[in-house]
Homo-oligomer: A and B are copies of this chain.
Amino acid sequence: MGKEEPLQALVDYLAVDMQACNHVIMDRMQSSVPLVSQLAAHLIVAGGKRLRPLLTLASARLCGYEKDSADHITRHVRLAACIEFLHTATLLHDDVVDESMLRRGTESANAVFGNSASVLVGDFLFSRAFQIMTEDGSLEVMRIISKASATIAEGEILQMTVQNDLSTSISRYFEVIHGKTAALFAASCRVGAIVANQSRQHELALESFGTNLGMAFQLVDDALDYSAKQEELGKTIGDDFREGKITYPILIAYEKSTPVEKEFWQRVIQDGKQEKGDLKQALILIRKYNVIEETLKEAMVFANKASSALDVFPESELHTILKNIANYTVHRHF
């Protein structure tokens, strides 16, 4: 099986739902202020995998959700769009925070429209996400998503707090990625179960699937930034390195390094004093200590937990696809 296939299988399985979701997204990003729609379109229309809304749609379907009202937009579709708005808002703000000039292979919104517009359109999309939730009307959904939203902000702030700090513990790193990534994955899945009126057990199983999938996803993302394979494929690597971001690969490499090598990490990460050739040296140390493999091994632990969490559901085509997705998350691009 090709490496992209599990995700493509999910996209194919949910094609009708996703099309409906895209309609809601296009419709609800409209504003009487043209710049709002233009900037939102820059990011939303450009695409991305739409992984989070796919998880909401998939979770609802896995729980046997069928349209339950005369409303022409079904609940899972509406909430999937809400999740995508929330995610897009965080991306817009992240790019301002990281001063990123690229996003999804094209110029980032802040590079094109400026930081101010990115901050404010993020706020608009955030508000719109809450308006959509209000239309859905479930207090339980609102409680879960607003909590996830606060957790995302806390995760991002924690990440900023530990930047350049090589004494950061692995458990602190896990706290960061739980906040910045896994919390929204978890919420995306859980609300799918809620609209389908599933049992608490199934709701928590999907939440666990989302959490663990998100942890695996972020670990792999952090590994990819130091992957020679990525570089061979012509992709940019070393962004995290240049920012002095504290990620799993850095923590593992630092831990295993000799005192002299530790001095190198202290200079480039802790003190942020980087020179030409430093990334190359970092990659040499990362290869020397099998750091990518270690990171992927850790990611696989989470991916396996994600997969096991789905065992409470009966076998089905979608069930298989989702289990494959967990595995694929770790093996993508390798």
Write the nearest CB–CB distance from A124 to chain B, whole angstroms. Answer: 4
Q: Nearest residue in B to A136 (C-beta to C-beta)? A: B139
Residues A150 and B128 in contact, CB atoms below 8 Å apart: yes
User: Which of A154-162, A190-198, A269-277 has 4 or more CB atoms under 8 Å from chain B?
Assistant: A154-162
Within 8 Å of chain B (Cβ to Cβ): is A324? no
A137 at the interface (CB under 8 A from B): yes
Q: Is A131 interfacial (CB 8 A cutoff)?
A: yes
Q: Which residues of B contact A147 (CB under 8 A)?
A: 127, 131
* B-contact bits for A145-186, CB 8 A (1 contact / 0 none): 011011011101110110000000000000000000000000
Stretch from A32-40, A202-210, A222-230 at the B interface: A32-40
User: Does A121 make an interface contact (CB < 8 A)?
Assistant: yes
Asked if A123 CB lies within 8 Å of chain B CBs, one says yes
Assess whether B150 is in contact with A33, with CB atoms less than 8 Å apart.
no
Whether A115 is near chain B, meaning CB under 8 Å from some CB there, is yes
- The contact string, 1 if C-beta is below 8 Å from chain B, for chain A 122-135, is 11101110110110
Is B119 a contact partner of A119 (Cβ separation < 8 A)? yes
Count of chain A residues near B, Cβ 8 A: 43
A123 to B36, CA, bound (A): 18
Contact with B along A105-123 (1 / 0, CB 8 A): 0000000000111011111
Q: Can you list 26 contacts pairing A with B, beta carbon distance less than 8 Å?
A: A32-B154, A33-B157, A33-B161, A34-B161, A36-B154, A97-B119, A97-B120, A117-B157, A120-B153, A121-B153, A121-B157, A122-B123, A123-B149, A123-B152, A123-B153, A124-B154, A126-B126, A127-B147, A127-B150, A128-B150, A130-B130, A130-B146, A131-B147, A134-B143, A134-B146, A142-B142
